[in-house]
């Protein structure tokens, strides 16, 4: 055989363009499909090589379906198929073989075995599918092969339509398996694979007298983040959470996404509840570290329910419901924590859907009511505003606080009509108090992210305002930081439109969630409501006092007012006054009250708010 560059020599390595390389391994660590044997980096012979060399090459490698022949410049020149070629030599023209004739000469002399098969030209970055399509389009019969070259005449190898087809089928099958068993967003196992592994783990546990733990993990307030920050942000958050769960779990645990913001962790071979609870503890702690997404830092918390096999249930499906029920207990008792299943816990799913149906009914039957909590001006000791807070007067369960239904109202979208009702009712009440001759007050109304995202939100607001006849300047919308912390200019436009309609805007629960304050200058905000978590026990926590002082100073420099929320003691009131807050709201002054009680409270002079202030001052 004539000398060929090592690149083209028998057994040598051919360059394969990047798109021919196997795709990166899927995140579960399985190997992706390989290209070996497809566009095989096949041995090639020189046109000037002896026939005997070509023959030997064929004999030596039985898997070789065809042999490329390259010219003096190493460009592809022809392809010879195994069967006609071998037949040719072994029967009629053995002398050609042993006469050491050059392959080029031989092929020119015998066009019948070199059927002028032109190399197949593909783009340099052609994919496996492209090559297959081209090959099968050109050669309708199965089992055909082709010498594949790029447009710039670079020899790529030999493609066999049969092998290509089976590889494409194999890949499709892998892809289908992957799609069916792994979550497309996070790359971790999905519900199907999780259930499979759970069933298997339970069977094994039964056989070997072992235990299996199941953690049901739900992201707190994910819906709000997703609605207010946009879906790309929400997706990034879910991926980051999946990553964090995997980091905390052991290598042998299965971390899966069940759907939405629900994850589950399967722990095989555990030493009782302690192992599961210590993982849950690690997860809760790990979430204290902020997560960075799209240049923003954000903190989220998890609610985790734990169930154990076989103690809590011997049926794998029921075990999941029990972990779910335990998770729901965590949700209803303030989120951000974990709990093991205890008999008697209701199932979240059935609870959730029945709650949704009940909420719909409550809206139709007028079961909602608003109560009002005063806000006190700290300089004058006078009530200057109230916040409208929704309550559900449940026919059998009594008075329910928003914590037990707002999240479901948000998830189900019912918060939109409920929010419409709240705004209309708050405006109606304000007018009613005005008619009764009570001092004029500002009315704070909480707006949920989903409500705010309705394209016709501003239009609806204007309609309600004009229907009720209230002075828009007396209405203040309480938004959250995450709702306005958007780059989207649409949010800014909307805030400006609301301002133009005359309403005031405040940022509720200020200080939680985001670390960047730069956005405050960009938005037409009037007031910051410092979150209760900074106010609680502030007289004993100098760090929190410093934070409140810094927020108040920043607010002053931006001409914003500051309300301290959740003031319960005189000591706390003293500190928030000293830190420079303008107003305070909290149980110390008054709990949220019915409209009539609030009217009485106002007539009684606000339960001594002014005296209290004089004392702490
Ligand atoms: P928020 O807007 O931050 O409202 C303040 C919450 O703190 C109220 O709880 C209030 O009762 C409570 N609070 C006030 N002072 C104190 C205090 O001194 N100590 C303690 N421990 N708590 C105090 P509530 O009424 O249970 O409302 C909880 C949350 O539900 C509200 O937080 C708000 O985010 C949401 N919410 C209430 N009404 C509505 C509504 O009409 N629409 C929407 N979208 N959300 C609402
Ligand atoms: Mg509020
Ligand atoms: Mg608040």
CATH number of residue 578's parent domain: 3.20.20.450
- pLDDT of 560 reads 92
User: Residue whose CA is closest, atom 12 of ligand 1?
Assistant: 566
Q: What is d(CA 314, CA 322) in angstroms, rounded to the nearest whole number?
A: 11
Of the candidates 238, 123, 141, the residue with the CA atom closest to the CA atom of residue 188: 238
Alpha helices in 333-405 (DSSP H): 348-364
* Residues 515 and 600 placed together within one structural domain of the fold: yes
- Ligand 1: distance of its center to the CA of 450 in Å? 18
**Whole-angstrom Cα distance, residue 499 to residue 443?**
15
For atom 7 of ligand 1, which residue has the closest CA?
Answer: 566
Residue 1 in any domain: the answer is no
448 and 368 in a common domain:
yes
- CB within 8 Å of 35: residues ≥ 6 apart: 16, 20, 21, 22, 128, 167
CB-based contact 257:242 (threshold 8 Å): yes
Q: Centre a 10 Å sphere on the Cβ of residue 458 and count the other Cβ atoms it contains.
A: 19
In sequence order, what are the residues at sequence separation of 6 or more whose Cβ sits closer than 8 angstroms to the Cβ of residue 122?
130, 131, 134, 148, 149, 150, 151, 156
Return d(Cα 103, Cα 352) in angstroms, integer: 78
Per-residue model confidence (pLDDT) at position 344: 66
Q: Hey, which of 223, 359, 372, 389 would you mutate to test ligand 1's pocket, going by the most ligand atoms within 8 Å of its Cβ?
A: 389
Ligand 2 center–CA 85 separation, angstroms:
85
Query: What is the predicted pLDDT for the residue at 267?
Result: 96
465 Cα to the center of ligand 1, angstroms: 23
Query: 155 forms bridges with which residues in the sheet?
Result: 149
Backbone angles phi, psi at 59, to 5 degrees: -65, -40
Single residue among 131, 153, 180 that ends a domain in this structure = 180
Domain count, the chain: 3
Residue nearest to atom 4 of ligand 1 (CA): 389
Whether residue 376 sits in one domain with residue 329? no
CATH of residue 150's domain is 3.10.580.10
Considering the domain architecture, whether residues 330 and 378 belong to the same structural domain is answered as no
Does 423 sit in the ligand 1 pocket, CB within 6 Å?
A: no
Q: 341 near 312, Cβ under 8 Å? A: yes
Residue 363 tokens read as 């809206």
Let me know if residue 572 belongs to a domain.
Answer: yes
Closest CA to 389 of 552, 151, 585, 221: 585
Fill in the DSSP letter of residue 106.
Answer: H
Exposure of 172 by Cβ count < 10 A (0-12 exposed, 13-18 middle, 19+ buried)? exposed
**Beta pairing class for 504-510 and 302-309:** unpaired
Q: Is residue 297 part of a domain?
A: yes
Q: Which two tokens stand for residue 570?
A: 């005189």
Neighbours of ion ligand 2 (CB under 5 A): 446, 478, 508
78 shares a domain with 195? no
Ligand 1 lined by 598 (C-beta under 6 Å): no
d(CA 315, CA 195): 12
| Cα(533) to centroid(ligand 2), Å | 14
587 CB under 6 A from ligand 1? yes
Q: Whose CA is nearest to atom 11 of ligand 1?
A: 592
Domain boundary among 305, 322, 346: 346
Among 346, 371, 395, the domain-final residue is: 346
Please check whether residue 272 lies inside any domain of the structure: yes
For ligand 1, whether the C-beta of 530 sits within 6 Å is no
Q: What is the pLDDT of residue 37?
A: 37
In a domain, 70, yes or no: yes
Contact at 8 Å (CB) between 339 and 329? yes
Identify whether the C-beta of residue 130 lies closer than 8 Å to the C-beta of residue 111: no
* Domain enclosing residue 589, as ranges: 352-616
- Residue 56 in any domain: the answer is yes
Q: Is the CB of 448 under 6 A from ligand 1?
A: yes
Ligand 1 site, residue 508, Cβ cutoff 6 A: yes
Ligand 1 within 6 A of CB of 190: no
Please indicate, yes or no, if residue 418 is contained in any of the structural domains.
Answer: yes
Residues 451 and 595 in one domain: yes
> CB count, 10 Å around CB of 293?
19
Ligand 1 in reach of 509 Cβ (< 6 A): yes
- Atom 42 (ligand 1): residue with closest C-alpha? 446
Asked if residue 364 and residue 337 are part of one domain, the reply reads no
Q: How far is the CA of 564 from the centre of ligand 2 (A)?
A: 11
Give mean pLDDT in consecutive 10-residue pieces for the chain, a chain of 617 residues: 32 27 32 38 75 79 74 72 68 62 76 60 76 68 64 72 71 80 94 94 91 95 82 93 96 94 94 92 92 86 95 89 89 84 62 75 94 96 96 90 87 90 97 94 94 90 95 96 74 92 94 66 90 91 88 88 96 95 96 95 83 78
Q: Looking at residue 195, which CATH number applies to its domain?
A: 3.30.70.270
Q: Is residue 74 part of a domain?
A: yes
Do residues 534 and 547 make contact, with C-beta atoms less than 8 angstroms apart? yes
DSSP β-ladder status, 475-480 and 504-510:
parallel
Same domain? For 72 and 111 the reply is yes
Q: What is the pLDDT of residue 122?
A: 79
Residues 506 and 545 placed together within one structural domain of the fold: yes
Same domain, 455 and 493: yes
* Strands 302-309, 527-530: pairing kind: unpaired
Could you give the CA distance from residue 69 to residue 75 in angstroms, rounded to a whole number? 9
Nearest CA to ligand 1 atom 17: 566
Residues 263, 269, 270, 276, Cα dihedral to 10°:
0
Residues 6 or more apart in contact with residue 77 via CB below 8 angstroms = 47, 69, 70, 71, 104
Q: From the CB of 561, is ligand 1 less than 6 Å away?
A: no
Q: Which ligand is nearest to the CA of 566?
A: 1
Q: Are residues 393 and 340 in the same domain?
A: no
Same domain, 386 and 491: yes
């Amino acid at each position: 055989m004539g000398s060929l560059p090592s690149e083209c020599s028998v057994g040598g390595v051919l360059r394969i363009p990047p798109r021919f390389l196997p795709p990166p391994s899927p995140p579960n660590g399985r190997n992706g499909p390989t290209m070996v044997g497809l566009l095989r980096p096949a041995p090639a012979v020189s046109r000037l090589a002896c026939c005997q060399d070509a023959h030997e090459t064929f004999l030596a490698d039985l898997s070789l379906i065809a042999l490329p022949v390259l010219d003096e410049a190493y460009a592809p020149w022809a392809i010879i198929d195994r069967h006609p070629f071998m037949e040719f030599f072994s029967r009629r023209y053995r002398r050609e073989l042993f006469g050491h004739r050059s392959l080029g000469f031989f092929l020119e002399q015998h066009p019948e075995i070199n059927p002028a098969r032109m190399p197949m030209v593909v783009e340099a970055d052609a994919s496996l599918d492209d090559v297959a399509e081209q090959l099968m389009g050109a050669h309708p019969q199965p089992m055909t092969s082709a010498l594949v070259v790029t447009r710039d005449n670079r020899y790529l190898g030999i493609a066999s339509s049969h092998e290509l087809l089976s590889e494409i089928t194999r890949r499709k099958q892998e892809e289908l398996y992957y799609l069916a068993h792994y979550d497309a967003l996070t790359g971790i196992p999905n519900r199907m694979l999780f259930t499979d592994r759970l069933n298997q783990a339970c069977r094994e546990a039964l056989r070997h007298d072992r235990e299996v733990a199941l953690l049901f993990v739900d992201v707190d307030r994910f819906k709000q983040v997703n609605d207010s920050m946009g879906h790309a942000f929400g997706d990034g958050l879910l991926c980051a959470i999946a990553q964090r769960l995997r980091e905390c779990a052991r290598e042998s645990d299965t971390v899966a996404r069940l759907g939405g913001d629900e994850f589950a962790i399967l722990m095989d071979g555990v030493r009782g509840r302690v192992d599961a609870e210590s993982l849950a503890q690690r997860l809760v702690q790990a979430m204290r570290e902020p997560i960075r997404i799209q240049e923003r830092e954000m903190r989220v918390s998890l609610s985790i329910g734990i169930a154990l096999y076989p103690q809590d249930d011997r049926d794998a499906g029921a075990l999941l419901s029990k972990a779910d029920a335990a998770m729901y207990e965590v949700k209803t008792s303030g989120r951000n924590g974990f709990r093991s299943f205890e008999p008697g816990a209701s199932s979240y799913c059935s609870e959730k859907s029945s709650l949704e149906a009940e909420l719909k009914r409550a809206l139709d039957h007028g079961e909602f009511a608003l109560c009002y909590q005063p806000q006190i001006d700290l300089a004058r000791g006078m009530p200057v505003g109230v916040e409208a807070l929704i309550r559900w007067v449940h026919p059998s369960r009594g008075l329910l606080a928003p914590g037990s239904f707002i999240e479901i109202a948000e998830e189900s979208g019912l918060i939109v009509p409920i929010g419409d009702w709240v705004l209309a009712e708050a405006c109606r009440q304000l007018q009613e108090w005005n008619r009764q001759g009570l001092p004029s007050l500002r009315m704070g109304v909480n707006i949920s992210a989903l409500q705010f995202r309705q394209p016709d939100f501003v239009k609806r607001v204007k309609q309600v305002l004009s229907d009720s006849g209230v002075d828009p300047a007396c209405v203040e919308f309480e938004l959250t930081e995450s709702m306005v912390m958007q780059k989207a200019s649409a949010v800014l436009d909307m805030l400006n439109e609301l301002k133009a309609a005359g309403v005031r805007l405040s940022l509720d629960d200020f200080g939680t969630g985001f670390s960047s304050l730069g956005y405050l200058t960009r938005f037409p905000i009037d007031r910051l409501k410092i979150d209760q978590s900074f106010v609680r026990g502030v007289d004993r926590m100098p760090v929190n006092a410093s934070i409140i002082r810094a927020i108040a100073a920043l607010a002053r420099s931006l001409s914003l007012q500051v309300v301290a929320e959740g003031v319960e003691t005189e000591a706390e009131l003293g500190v928030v006054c000293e830190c420079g807050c303008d107003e305070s709201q909290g149980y110390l002054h008054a709990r949220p009250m019915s409209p009539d009680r609030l009217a009485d409270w106002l007539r009684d002079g606000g339960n001594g708010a002014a005296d209290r202030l004089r004392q702490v001052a």
